[in-house]
């Protein structure tokens, strides 16, 4: 692919000003903070009560500009991890090399600073051109009441097919964690254990998304509920990650939350490819996720 062809396909939109690398969008009942770093949802709160629905670690707002180097991107990720909702592209999991290209822990997209392409009161669009694979990605966030919609498009800007893994990584916060919490995936109750106050626990597992691509979380003790929907044909798996107060590095007993992660493959990669999702030459893959949250449900 020539430089001339590349410039024709990838127009560079004008970057809009962003305060402290963050955008805030609002609805009548909910507020979301979107970071240009990783195009991540940094915070999702109830506008009336300031209740935080997503996990935010105690070090989420620390300045990492003078951070010391780590021997691996996995260690760097976990030391800095702010919580929230990230998109993991073009792979998820440990850093690895494929075809002579090094891919960081959880993929390049989660590490990059994205362009701000559009923003208004209740929505914004961010974009990035990845360098580890020839993909252009746009990610649009929109709030309507208590529902956050994320529309994402992945475009192959080369003349060859590209195989990738795509995982979404929304992590729900402490408001959802109690021994009474229930999680239903595709209409079936998962046998997850949420620790009682003062106890700890952690876990990771992969479940089939089923036919609906829908997870419903309820904590009757706080009244908090969350409903996450996705395309189960495109994302046939859901990783379930739990972290509840474990005392060792990197959490030091300060983090409690859990994730339901729509994924295109099981967690551990098979073979030498980045993943099973093939984006054809000069083609795109586009999909939508919705997360509805609220209190008293």
The residues, any chain, with a CB within 8 Å of residue 111's CB and separated by 6 or more, are 37, 38, 73, 104
Residue 13 pLDDT greater than 80, yes or no: no
SS3 percent helix, strand, coil of the chain, rounded to 5, is 5, 45, 50
Least confident of 145-159, 193-207, 250-264: 193-207
The predicted model scores a pTM of 0.93
Mean pLDDT of 167-174: 98
Mean pLDDT of 6-14: 42
State pLDDT tens for residues 71-127. Answer: 899 999 999 999 999 999 999 999 999 999 999 999 999 999 999 999 999 999 999
Query: How many Å apart are CA 129 and CA 240, to the nearest integer?
Result: 29
State pLDDT tens for residues 47-56. Answer: 999 999 999 9
- Preceding peptide of 250 cis, ω within 30°: yes
Average pLDDT across the chain, whole number: 92
Residue 198 pLDDT greater than 90, yes or no: no
Mean pLDDT of 18-36: 91
* Overall residue count recorded for the chain in this entry: 297
């Amino acid at each position: 692919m020539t430089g001339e062809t590349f410039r024709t396909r990838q127009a560079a939109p004008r970057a809009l000003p962003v305060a402290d690398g963050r955008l805030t969008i609002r609805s009548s009942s909910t507020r979301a903070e979107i970071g240009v770093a990783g195009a991540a949802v940094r915070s999702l709160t109830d506008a009336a009560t300031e209740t935080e629905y997503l996990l935010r670690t105690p070090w989420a707002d620390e300045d990492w500009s003078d951070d010391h180097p780590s021997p691996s991107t996995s260690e760097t990720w976990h030391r800095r991890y702010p919580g929230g909702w990230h998109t993991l592209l073009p792979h998820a999991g440990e850093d690895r090399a494929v075809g002579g290209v090094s891919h960081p822990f959880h993929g390049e997209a989660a590490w990059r600073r994205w362009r701000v392409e559009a923003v208004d009161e209740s929505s914004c669009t961010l974009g990035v051109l990845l360098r580890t694979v020839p993909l252009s990605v746009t990610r649009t966030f929109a709030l309507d009441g208590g529902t956050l919609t994320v529309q994402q498009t992945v475009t192959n800007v080369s003349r060859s097919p590209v195989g990738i893994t795509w995982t979404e990584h929304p992590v729900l916060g402490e408001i959802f964690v109690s021994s009474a919490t229930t999680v239903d995936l595709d209409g079936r109750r998962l046998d997850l254990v949420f620790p009682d106050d003062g106890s700890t626990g952690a876990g990771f597992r992969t479940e089939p998304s089923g036919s609906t691509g829908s997870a419903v979380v309820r904590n009757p003790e706080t009244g908090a509920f969350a409903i996450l929907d996705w395309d189960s044909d495109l994302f046939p798996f859901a990783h379930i990650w739990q972290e509840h107060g474990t005392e060792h590095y990197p959490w030091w007993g300060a983090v409690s939350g859990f994730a339901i992660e729509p994924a295109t493959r099981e967690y551990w990669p098979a073979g030498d490819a980045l993943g099973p999702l093939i984006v054809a030459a000069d083609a795109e893959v586009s999909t939508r996720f919705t997360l509805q949250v609220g209190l008293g449900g």
